[in-house]
Every structure is written in C-alpha cells, then in structure tokens.
Amino acid sequence: MGISVDTFFLKPDAQGTLQAQIQQMIAEGILSGRFHVGEKLPSSRKLATHLGISRITVTLAYTELLANDYLTSRGRSGYYVSDNAPVPPSYTPLQRAEETVDWNRAIARRFTGGDTLHKPSNWRDYRYPFIYGQADPTLFDHANWRLCAVRALGQKDFASLTADYVDQDDPLLIEFIARHTLPRRGITAKPEEILITLGAQNALWLAARVLLNRRRKAAIEDPCYYALRELLLQARCQVAPLRVDVDGLPPDAIPHDTDVIFTTPSHQSPTTATMPLNRRHDLLQRAREIDAMIVEDDYEFEMAFLAAPSPALKSLDRDGRVIYVGSFSKSLFPGLRLGYMVGSEAFIREARALRSLVLRHPPGHIQRTAAYFLSLGHYDAQIRRVSAALLERRKAIESAITDHGLTIAGRGAYGGSSLWMRAPKAVDTKVLAEKLRAQSVHIEPGEPFFSGPEKPKNYFRLGYSSIPVNRIEPGIEILAQSINRQ
C-alpha cells in the first residue's frame, strides 16, 4: 500500500528550507516506523501539488534521500522506502515535548483501580489453561458461522445492515430470541420487552443505571462476579453483599430496604450453586414483600449437560419484577459481545434510551450473523457439541480432583464450565496462581469475587471450557503438588 499524500503537512513554525523540511518529514516517517520497507511514496508531482510547492523541491529532496539510502527508486514506477532504511520493528512516534496538563485535576471520576481478575491475554500459551469464560476454537462450528456471516454480508441484507438503526435492533434476532431462546427458559416475551446488549456485562450495567441511584440499595451475592460489584460501586448506590450458601442466595438475608436484587440462580457465579425451585419461589415472595426488582443473570443456561436446567426465575415471575439477562458469550464466543435483556416494556424503554445515549446499538452485521446462525439450527448443534465436550471434561476433572485429594466447594448440578474449589485455609491462592504460572498452569484466585475487608484467600476457580481433556489430569496433578507443598 502506498503512503498517502494526505499524511504530509508543512508545519507553520518549521525551521530550514522547504527541501530540508520534506527530507525531515520522510526521514521521521521512516525512523518512527510509520513508513515500512517497500512502501511507495507519493509521486513528486502529487506531493508538490498537495503542499503547494514547486515540484523540483520535492524531486531534490527525494534524490537526497535516495543518496542516503532511505529511499530506493524503481525506474519510472517511483520512489519506495529502501530495504536498507533503518525502520524499527514497531511504530514508536518520536518523543514529543512534555505535556503540561495536570490529569490528576482534569479527571473528574476514576474508573481504574477496581477489583479485576487479571486474565493473561496469552492464556493459549499455557499448557494447562483452567481459564474461565473463553471459547474453545476446536469446538466452534467455524465453517457455518462463516457462511452465516457471508450471507449477512449479502447484497440483500446490506442496506439494512449498514444503516444507523438509531435505537433499534435487528428484528430477525429479536424474533429468534422471542420464539426459540426464551421458551427454553420458560419465558414469554414480546419484541418490545427485549433489548440486545453488548454482552451480559452491558446488560447488567444498563439495569444498574436505570434502577439505582445514590439513595437506593442493591443486594448482591457474596462471592459474586467482580465486575458487577465494580459497576455498582461506580453507580454509587448502597450495596449489601449477602453470603451465599449451597443453594445460592438466601432470601431471608435480603435487607427490607433493598431496591434491586442481583442474582445468578441457575449457576451461582462463581460458586456454581443451583437455586432449588422452592427457594426461587421464596425469593420472588421476598422481593414482592419488600417491593424490590430482581436482575437475573442466566449467563450459561445452555451448558446443562448433566440434567435439564430448571426454568428461569423470570418464568415464575407474575409481577413483572424480574429482569432477565442472557448472553451468547458462553454458547457462541465471548468476542462476539452479544447479550440481551428481557423485562417489562416500561423498563426496556428506559434501558433502550440509555443504550442509545452510550453506544446507539450493537453492530447490525453481528446481530444478523447471529440471527442466521441461530435460525439455521447451527446454534443447537453447537450447544450439543460443546455440552458433550464439557461433559467429558467435567468427568475427567472430577475424577482427577478425587484422585489427587483436592476439595470441590461447588459444582453446578446441571453442568456449567467451571468448578469452585477450596484449598486448605493456609493457602493464599493468589500466591499459588503466581507460582503455577511457572509450570504453565492457569487457575483463577477466588479473592476478587468476595466483598468486604475479610476476603477468604483460599478459594479458586477451575474453568474447563478451554482445556483439552487429556491435559486435565496432568494439570490437576501439578496443582495438587503445589498445594501440598505449601
């Protein structure tokens, strides 16, 4: 690709002759790595016209750069960055003058510094990646996804996909979710009650912003998905963390002045506890008594390979107080960034207006591709394939854990893609995880999931969605040795 003439400017305050300025511009482009070896420079005529200077000035500059081996000439076809030019391996702009802005003053609100799991971006390089929430490329129906994407890029769809939807969603995707996805959870919803979001995270954030403010209180599970706690802290509402038990969130513990209850009844995150049906009824009853809304994060209901999942809390909701959050991150892949929320029209209307303010709408092409993939039945086949693999891995990990004498603190009754583990009291799993890195084992320390000052340090999560089945036992062996050595 040629270097665009539009990237050349004469600086009003520049020193030296015009020819020298041009030479410097090009040398800087090369030395900073902005221009690559072999890239073609604009013709002298073009550059001269663009800068409003005489062509001879440009030609002289080029000749000089040729002599210095910055450029090379290929006869009539023009000037190129020379093979011998000192191009650095990556683009590193030349140092600018020191900035004078005081960012400590300029930044009104800080968003960094919260609890986050530091997931290694190179987790694929680990031999034993017990990572959670990443896709396994070997299980994904890549060929059909590609076909759907190409179909969604077809001329027929193109007009509707390129347009600014303003605040709307792809009607095909909405219809599929209403007719096929939600009925699996026992949920009935009209299109006006469904909003597509940029993943479940985006749905939780929208719900928090619409339903909470400084005077309101949110009840959350403890431990819970750390990013939920983080976004509630940012919403500056009051937060009541409630310790979960083996059946998930205990309804009795919910404070009477709670406005919104955030819960993961089907697979408590991260303990994997499944809330029994009678507790679901009790939870709805408690919410009715104190007039609280419920945000139900049903983030991996599809991964139910041990038993059929129980119906969603939302399906039992007669009052309209449950807001249901679903996601395609686990069943398709997380990089897709597609989720959805279901709730009463009055709520969805506000969430839609807020989404519009923040990002308008998730990209049309992504929505349409997912709609095709779902409606052609590939999604069901995908879930069957992933479930079969997860079942095999689940058996392998449970048996390895038993063999090596480790302790499972929570395992989803229906399936899921992770186990919640407890190490002996004395073990700090952050330190453990750090040590294991040297042996190419990745585990997730449990501490960031907990609220409050007295966070247990001896829990951890083992994901099995991205580790090949034959790596599981050897990985658990290393883990067990490391724990026993503590």
Contacting a copy of itself within 27-86 (CB under 8 A):
29, 32-34, 50
Q: Which of 20, 53, 141, 186 binds a copy of itself (CB under 8 A)?
A: 186
Q: Least distance from C-beta 427 to a copy of itself, angstroms? A: 26
Q: Least distance from C-beta 61 to a copy of itself, angstroms? A: 18
Residues 373-432 contacting a copy of itself, CB under 8 A: 375-377, 380
For the record, the structure tokens of 96 come out as 């600018």
Residues 204-263 contacting a copy of itself, CB under 8 A: 205, 209-213, 216, 227, 230-231, 234, 259
Q: Least distance from C-beta 7 to a copy of itself, angstroms? A: 4
| 97 scored as a contact of a copy of itself (CB under 8 A) | yes
If you search the block for the tokens 């939600």, which residue do you land on? 182
User: Euclidean distance between the first and final Cα of the chain, in Å?
Assistant: 57
Residues 269-308 contacting a copy of itself, CB under 8 A: 277, 291, 293, 308
Binding string, 120-159, against a copy of itself, x = CB under 8 A?
A: -x--x--------xxx-x--x-x--xx--xx--x-x--xx
Identify which of 373, 375, 457, 453 has the alpha carbon closest to the alpha carbon of residue 421: 457
If you search the block for the tokens 């059929």, which residue do you land on? 308
Q: Which class for 36: exposed (0-12), middle (13-18), buried (19 or more C-beta within 10 A)?
A: middle
Work out the number of other CB atoms within 10 angstroms of the CB of residue 14.
13
| 20 scored as a contact of a copy of itself (CB under 8 A) | no
Select 227 or 469, whichever has its Cβ closest to a copy of itself: 227
Q: Which of 16, 84, 86, 179 binds a copy of itself (CB under 8 A)?
A: 179
Residue 154 to residue 157: CA distance in whole angstroms:
6
Interface with a copy of itself (CB under 8 A), residue total 125
Residues 155-174 contacting a copy of itself, CB under 8 A: 155, 158-159, 161-166, 168
Select 302 or 400, whichever has its Cβ closest to a copy of itself: 302
Kindly give, in sequence order, each residue whose CB lies less than 8 Å from that of residue 399, ignoring residues fewer than 6 positions away.
473
For the record, the structure tokens of 463 come out as 């994901």
Q: Which of 15, 76, 77, 346 binds a copy of itself (CB under 8 A)?
A: 346
Q: Least distance from C-beta 143 to a copy of itself, angstroms? A: 10
Kindly give, in sequence order, each residue whose CB lies less than 8 Å from that of residue 220, ignoring residues fewer than 6 positions away.
228, 229, 232, 239, 240, 241, 242, 262, 451
| 15 scored as a contact of a copy of itself (CB under 8 A) | no
Select 204 or 476, whichever has its Cβ closest to a copy of itself: 204
Q: Which of 241, 250, 276, 363 binds a copy of itself (CB under 8 A)?
A: 363
Identify which of 417, 319, 367 has the alpha carbon closest to the alpha carbon of residue 177: 367
| 24 scored as a contact of a copy of itself (CB under 8 A) | no
For the chain, the farthest-separated pair of C-alpha atoms sits apart, in whole angstroms, at: 86
Select 231 or 462, whichever has its Cβ closest to a copy of itself: 231
Residue 202 to residue 366: CA distance in whole angstroms:
16
Q: Are 322 and 314 in contact (CB under 8 A)?
A: yes
Residue 178 to residue 171: CA distance in whole angstroms:
10
